[in-house]
Amino acid sequence: MEMTAIVLIVGFFVFLLMNVPVSISIGLATMIVIVMNIDLIPAVTTVAQRMAGGINSFALLAIPFFVLSGLIMGRGGIAKRLIECAMALIGALPGGLALVNVVSCMLFGAISGSAVAATSAIGSFMLPEMKKAGYDPNFSAALTAAASTTGMLIPPSNILIVYAIASGGVSIAALFMAGYLPGLMVGLALMLVCFIVAKINNYPLSARLPLAIVFKKVLAAIPSLFLIVLVIGGIVGGIFTATEAGAIAVVYALILSVGFYGEVKLKQLPEIFLKSAETTSIVMLLIAASTAMSWVLSIESIPQTMSQFMLGLSDNPIVILLLINLFLIVVGAFLDMTPAVLIFTPIFLPVAEQLGMSPLQFGIMIVLNLSIGLCSPPVGAVLFITCAIAKTKLEAIIRPLIPLYVAMFVVLMLVTYVPWISEAIPAWLGF
């Protein structure tokens, strides 16, 4: 078993260092381990079967739907209206533009379910505006990267769907409801940092808008915000499943962006559909390859061995959960969220359950943890997008990221050790 784990881990990182794509690296490392035990042809067949079985899930159909709806909304002027709504409501507060950035990322992330989409859509508008107002471009870029990850927790979230599959049956609807409070807490923690930074640097205040204009901006954003009510309300009310909600989100996004706002033209749809297919194929290949690796981990009893090892380190649940979090933070800095969730959920979930943590709470913990990795160097995808938009270098935004990391880590610790934060809303709604 020890040799299998070593070959699997070393093989995976060797392929990564050779710039092999993550999904291919996972698949090749898995193949090598299986070839150590059986002949090549049966090994290839086994991996192919496990990969096909890994994506043969009705629940995963929600992912392409939410990816497509997010792309349509990113092109459909929804981000602009959400930003204008947030600006009207809180733009005149100290650090107003920074606060607007966080709220806009939270709202757009909740609607699109994608941190990358939120970074691109909100960052393209907010970063130039913040620079014009006198904000440090490096701080603005760091803030956008951190705030965009709130969409991983606030539903609808693709990564929560992936966790539901990896955990072996946690309700997607319950996970969606569990993500609300932690996601809002992360957003509020980031806003607190913004307020403090604005006071220290004496950033200028925006002019307070007349009430009539505030009302107009809020009214213009209501059709966009209604998507959250439609999707989550339908799931909570038992009207449709999460997968069906994804399809409804696509239809609503088309009506809104093509018909109501008119900012997406019919001739643009083929390009959007193609981009959606490309993004979905990348995600599905990651899921398929990670599922095959998880199967190898399972048959080699690596999760059970890891559980015994972790529980042997200490009999204090606080210490063990802290070690798991620190390990996952390091993993998140190098590995994409999807394979990280699929690979490490089967390993650490049994440990967490033995410590009395519910699969629901653990799911929110691991997604929040890996969200920190999403905006951490050297691999964090959103960092490169914000740096490109802000025209700054990656190393320049590390320092302004530190207080934002601290704020997110504090919320992570609260989610880890206070079950109520993750479980209160699902319990109240009867999930």
Confidence category of residue 7, pLDDT binned at 50, 70, 90: confident
What does the DSSP 8-state code read for residue 153?
A: T
Confidence category of residue 89, pLDDT binned at 50, 70, 90: confident
Q: What is the pLDDT of residue 405?
A: 92
The predicted-structure confidence for 283-296, as pLDDT tens digits, reads as follows 888 888 888 888 88
Confidence category of residue 311, pLDDT binned at 50, 70, 90: confident
The CA-based angle 373-73-98, given to 5 degrees, is 55
Please check the confidence at residue 423 and state whether its pLDDT lies above 80.
yes
Please check the confidence at residue 407 and state whether its pLDDT lies above 90.
yes
The predicted-structure confidence for 349-378, as pLDDT tens digits, reads as follows 988 988 889 999 999 999 999 988 888 777
Average pLDDT value for residue range 402-421: 94
Q: What is the pLDDT of residue 65?
A: 85
The predicted-structure confidence for 126-178, as pLDDT tens digits, reads as follows 888 888 878 888 888 889 889 888 888 888 788 888 898 888 778 888 898 89
Q: What is the pLDDT of residue 207?
A: 65
Would you list the domain boundaries of the chain? 1-54, 55-429
Give whole-number Cα distances, 343 to 55, 162, 198, 366, 427, in Å. 15, 11, 40, 12, 28
Report whether the peptide linkage leading into residue 378 is cis, meaning its omega lies within 30 degrees of zero: yes
What distance in Å separates the CA atoms of residue 214 and residue 220, rounded to the nearest whole number? 10
Spatial CB neighbours of 368, under 8 Å, sequence gap ≥ 6: 152, 153, 182, 186, 408, 411, 412, 415
Mean pLDDT of the chain: 83
Confidence category of residue 422, pLDDT binned at 50, 70, 90: very high
Neighbour tally for 237: CB within 10 Å:
9
Confidence category of residue 309, pLDDT binned at 50, 70, 90: confident
Please check the confidence at residue 255 and state whether its pLDDT lies above 80.
yes
The pTM of the full predicted model, rounded to 2 decimals, is 0.85
Q: Is there a contact between 177 and 425 (Cβ–Cβ < 8 Å)?
A: yes
The predicted-structure confidence for 47-88, as pLDDT tens digits, reads as follows 888 888 878 877 778 888 888 887 887 777 777 787 788 878
Look up residue 350 and give its two tokens: 């049994």
The predicted-structure confidence for 9-60, as pLDDT tens digits, reads as follows 788 888 878 888 878 888 888 888 888 877 778 878 888 888 888 788 777 7
Please check the confidence at residue 1 and state whether its pLDDT lies above 70.
no
The predicted-structure confidence for 106-116, as pLDDT tens digits, reads as follows 877 777 667 77
Among residues 420, 345, 344, the alpha carbon closest in space to that of 185 is found at: 420
Q: Is there a contact between 62 and 284 (Cβ–Cβ < 8 Å)?
A: no
Please check the confidence at residue 403 and state whether its pLDDT lies above 90.
yes
Average pLDDT value for residue range 212-238: 82
